[in-house]
Amino acid sequence: MSVLLQISDLHFGTEQAPVMEALVALARQQRPELVVLSGDITQRARTVQFQAARAFVDRLGAPVLAIPGNHDIPLFNLWARLHHPYAQHTAAFGAELEPVHATPDLLVVGVNTTRAWRHKHGEVSRQQIDRVARLLEGASTDQLRVVVVHQPVAVTRAEDVQNLLRGHEAALRQWAAAGADMVMGGHIHLPYVMPLHDLERPVWAVQAGTAVSSRVRNGLPNSIHLLRWGAASTDGECRIEQWDYASAEQAFVQVRCTAVRPARR
């Protein structure tokens, strides 16, 4: 059984205590195998913010696969940004900026799409595209194959086109051919599941909202995704559940479920 909890854009420094406690309660109830944290862990990449984020994530009771977002690089300390941009991230979440999690029925590949010379926009290089493709090609037919980036590879609103990951078109073509099933992201604080077209096989973009930050978009609630695969779902089907924070109940409640059927080969 695989239950994956996707959280994103925590922006520690703007976290909300009641929402944090509700997410801890949900994690204890659902018992995920893995927590995927798709970037923007902190608001300003400060040591105390990373420490608080790490302490919170540890309370979720599962291994964490975390990649940095653009907010996780120092903004005002230009020397640190150019020479040691990931020092605080690695101190809290480990030296591997592009972690991989593999089990018999799950392969999750992290990609660092941030760049020290970019303020907010992300990109994926040819070397990164090739690395991810090699890992996907080595996956078994039983494994759900998930790539994790920060900036989105597909958007639903015209105003978000500017936030698209640079290089995403080439990446999607190669990752689909290599066997990817879905690409998870964050950055725009807008949750949705979106099928991607004109690729060699079915691939879905799974975009997370902001999990615990007060920096919600257009009044949308805080939200997370729970992904169920294998024995945790119908045979051959992957369930992607959106859970929103309901302030009246001070709890996360399921509001949407998207069932997808990844191609196997």
**92 within 8 A of 51, measured Cβ to Cβ:** yes
Instruction: Report domain extents, the chain.
Output: 2-260
Query: In this structure, what DSSP letter does residue 77 have?
Result: -
> 210: helix, coil or strand?
coil
pLDDT in tens, 184-216: 999 999 999 999 999 999 999 999 999 999 999
Report the C-alpha gap between 253 and 251 in whole angstroms: 6
Query: In this structure, what DSSP letter does residue 221 have?
Result: P
| 77, pLDDT greater than 80 | no
pLDDT in tens, 15-53: 999 999 999 999 999 999 999 999 999 999 999 999 999
Q: Give the per-residue pLDDT at 169.
A: 98
Q: Give the per-residue pLDDT at 232.
A: 55
Q: Which residues contact 33 (CB under 8 A, 6 or more apart)?
A: 1, 2, 3, 4, 62, 63, 103, 106
Higher pLDDT, 235 or 105: 105
The pairing of strands 203-207 and 182-185 is parallel
Identify the band that residue 218 occupies on the pLDDT scale cut at 50, 70 and 90. confident
Cα→Cα distances 230→47, 134, 143, Å: 38, 23, 9
The pairing of strands 100-103 and 251-260 is unpaired
Report the C-alpha gap between 232 and 234 in whole angstroms: 7
The pairing of strands 144-148 and 182-185 is parallel
Query: In this structure, what DSSP letter does residue 169 have?
Result: H
What is the second-level CATH architecture of the domain 2-260?
A: 4-Layer Sandwich (3.60)
Question: Which 3-state string (H, E, C) describes 209-246?
Answer: CCCCECCCCCCCCCEEEEEEEHHHCCCCCEEEEEEEEE
